[in-house]
Amino acid sequence: MQVETLRDVLHWTSDFHQHLTACLKHCADSNKSERAKMLLKYLSEHEEKLAHVIHEFETKGDEHALNTWCYEYLNKNPIVQHHHCDAPFSQLSTTEIMRVIIDQHNQVIELYRYLHDRADIPSAQELLEMLKSFEEHEMMLMVQSANRSEDM
- Could you tell me the sign of the dihedral formed by the alpha carbons of 138, 139, 144, 148, in that order? positive
pLDDT of 44 reads 96
For every one of its 152 residues, what pLDDT tens digit does the chain have, with 9 covering 90 and above? 577 899 999 999 999 999 999 999 989 888 899 999 999 999 999 999 999 999 999 999 999 999 988 766 566 666 655 555 655 788 899 999 999 999 999 999 999 999 999 888 999 999 999 999 999 999 999 999 988 877 76
Question: Which is nearest to 92 in space by CA: 141, 140, 148, 43?
Answer: 43
pLDDT of 132 reads 97
b (16+ CB within 10 A) / e for 90-102: bebebeebbebbe
Q: Which residues are registered as beta bridge partners of 69?
A: 5
CATH label, 6-151, candidates 3.40.50.720, 1.20.1260.10, 3.40.50.300, 1.10.150.120: 1.20.1260.10
Domain ranges within the chain, ordered by starting residue: 6-151
